[in-house]
Structure 1
Amino acid sequence: MAHCKWGDAPYTIVNLDGTTAHILVKGRNRWALNCLSTAGNIGCTPVNNPAPRWSAYVFNLREMGVQIETIHEPHGGDFGGLHGRYVLRSLVLPGHVEVMQ
């Protein structure tokens, strides 16, 4: 069996209010969390970071306790409208880390 680059990985999430969560993320959800972490305050859009279901990955990560802000931005073109920019608001630490409050 081939090694999966996006297999299960543990993370510690520290939210703005000081709450923490230990989560296990894999697959596209892990890919999206990595993209959001790398993007910082610039965030990610489906236009700049193409993926089939950004809204689903964001939903799943939020269900795990990750704080992600959605900023609605206009775009033009033949099919103008709004798209979402997703910005990570939690601190994401690799592994299960005990955080001092």
Structure 2
Amino acid sequence: MADVIRVTFRLDAEGPAFTVKGRMAWALHALVEAGERGCTPIDRPAPRWSDYIFKLRKAGLTIETLDEAHGGAYSGSHGRYVLRSPVQVIEEAQR
């Protein structure tokens, strides 16, 4: 996966452009790339997925959280995040 550090996007073809940086840009890139299958912290390890999602939602994006069970020695559940807002990526900057 690309090391994306900045994403500029629109929620509406004629609406204003928004820019997110750092881990928020990385997470948004991952969500756009994943499409309907979404992302989990298991698929794309990162320290604070819930924080990235919280901040992206605060920026106006609709992101659904699906609760999924997992087995193994530390069985339990995790969230799968699915981007529901139609996002038009205008520009991405990579490291």
Relative to the length of structure 1, the TM-score reads: 0.78
Match of 2:70 in 1: 75
What's the RMSD between the two structures over aligned residues? Answer: 1.9
Greater per-residue strand proportion: 2
Contact kept, 8 Å, 1:21 with 1:65, in 2: the verdict is: no
Structure 2 residues not aligned, in runs of 5+: none
**Per-residue Cα deviation, 1:34-78 (whole angstroms, up to 9, x for no partner):** 000000000000000111110000000000000000000000111
Match of 1:17 in 2: none
Q: Which is greater in Rg?
A: 1
Relative to the length of structure 2, the TM-score reads: 0.82
Q: Which has the higher contact order (CA 8 A, sep 6+)?
A: 2
Structure 1 residues not aligned, in runs of 5+: 15-19, 97-101
Displacement over 4 Å in runs of 4+ = none
Q: Which amino acid aligns with 2:32?
A: S
Identity %: 48
Partner Cα distance (1:71, 1:26) in 2: 25
Match of 2:58 in 1: 63
